[in-house]
Amino acid sequence: MGRSYQEEYKSKLVTADQAAAMVKNGDWVHYCHLSGKPIEFDEALAKRTNELFDVNLKGAVTIAPAPKTIMGDLKQEHFTWNASNFSAMDRKFQELGNAYYIPWNFHDAHRYVMETFVMDIYVTQARPMDEHGYFNLSVQACFAIDEIEKAKIVIIETNDKLPHALGGYGECVHISKVDYIIEGPNHVPVTLPEQSPEATTEERKIAEYILDEVEDGCCIQLGIGAFPNYIGTVICEGDFKHLGIHSEMFADCYPHLIETGMVDNSNKTFMRNKSVYAFALGKQSTYDYIHFNPGLAMYDVSWCNRPDIIASNPKVRSVNNCVGIDLYAQVASESWGFRQISGTGGAADFVRGAYDSEGGKSYLCMTSTKKDKEGNTFSSIVPTLPAGTIVTIPRYQVQYIVTEYGKIGIKGYSTWQVAEKMISIAHPDFRDDLVKEAQKMNIWRRSNKIV
C-alpha cells in the first residue's frame, strides 16, 4: 500500500496572506510566467505595498490579469518588475518606467538560475497534488524545476483548471520540494482567442516560400506569434508523411497538424514517436488537447532548446519571426531602438540547431515593411540597425531570410553579395535608397544588380 502524503500536505497549507507575509525588504520574488503566474499570492502581496521596500519581482510574458503589485506601485517605490521576456503588458510597464528586461538565451536557463539569479521566494500555479505526492506544473513548466531547486522558499498555488502536461523532464515537482501550498480558486488559464487573426496577403506569400521547403520526414519548429502559427495551418493543407514536432512552444496549429495524420514523429531521433515542447500558449481547445495526452512530452527548456538535441533530429525546419534586419544581415527579433518588444527567447537556439541538423534549415521571416504608431510606413530592411537595437541573431548564424518578395540564403556569402540579396527582398519603394546606403558602407559593387 502506497504512502499517504495528506498529512504533509496539510502541514504546508497556508493562506495567500500568510504566504505573502514571508516577503521581506530587499527580497527577490520570482513569479512563474503565463498561466503559472500566481494570482492569489500577488493580490495578497499587493496589500503589503506600503510596508515593503526594494522588493524585486521577476516574471516573463505577463498576460492579463496584470500583477496588482506592479499596478499599485507604478512609481517603483516598493516593487521593481524584471522580465526575461516581454509581452504587450510588459512593454506598457516599461513605458511607465517600472519594467526591466533580463537578457538570456533560453536554453541556458538552468545556468542563469543556478549561477546568477537571487531567489528568495518562488511562486507558481500548478495542478493539485496527486496520490503520489506530485504537482504537475502544467503547460508553463519551462525552467520551473530549476527555480524550485534554487529558491529558498517554494510556494505552490493550486489550480485544477490547468491542463495536466505529461512530460519527459521538469514537468512536475514532489511535495518534498515544496514549502507552502495555497489552495487557489481555480482561475481559468491564460488563453489566446479561439478565432485566429486572418493572414495578410504578405504573410500568405511568405508562407508559400516556406511550404516549398517542407518535405516528408521534416521536424517542425514554429516560433511565437500569429504568423508562425499560420505557417502550421498551411502545412496542414499539404500532403506530407512522417513529420515530427520539436518546438519551444506548442502552438495552436499543432493539434490540427497531428490529427491530419501527417505527424507521427517516426523520423525523429530525440523522443521518437512523441511531439516535444517546453511550454504552451494557446486556445482553450489546445490546452484540452494537451491534457493527459501521451503523444506529447514536455521538457525543461534547458533540454528542449539545446542546439545539439534539436540537431539530433534530421530535416529540422525552424520558422521564427523577426522585427528587422540590416544590410549586414544582423537580425533584431526582440527590440527596435530603445524599445524592448519581446525577448531573445529560443530563436537563436533553433537557428543553430536547425543548421546543425542533417538536411536542416532555419527561416527568419518578416514582412518587408511595417508601420509606426503614427501610421508611417518604413522598411523592415535597413542599412544599419537603429541605435539601441539589440542583435538577436548575429549575421554569421543566419541561414535563410524570407519576406513577401523572396527567400534568400546568406551563409558563406561576401558582404556585397549579402547586401545585394537583402535589397532584392526589400520593398521596391525602398530599394534605391538602400543601394545608396550600401555604397556609402562600402558593401556594394558596380556589378551588383537587383532582380
Helix (H) or strand (E) holding 134: strand 134-136
- What is d(CA 390, CA 383) in angstroms, rounded to the nearest whole number? 15
- What is d(CA 420, CA 425) in angstroms, rounded to the nearest whole number? 9
Question: 340 with 334: CB under 8 angstroms?
Answer: yes
Q: What spatial distance separates the first Cα and last Cα of the chain, rounded to whole Å? A: 74
> Rounded to 5 degrees, what are φ and ψ at 185?
-85, 20
Q: Is 76 exposed, middle or buried (0-12, 13-18, 19+ CB in 10 A)?
A: middle
Catalytic, out of 147, 248, 334, 420:
248
Active site residue 248: yes
Identify the bridge partners of residue 408 per DSSP, sorted by sequence position. 401
Question: 344 with 103: CB under 8 angstroms?
Answer: yes
CB count, 10 Å around CB of 8?
A: 16
Q: Is 51 exposed, middle or buried (0-12, 13-18, 19+ CB in 10 A)?
A: exposed
CB count, 10 Å around CB of 102?
A: 16
User: Which one-letter DSSP state was computed for residue 334?
Assistant: S
Q: Which residue is it, cell 516535444?
A: 276
Active site residues: 248
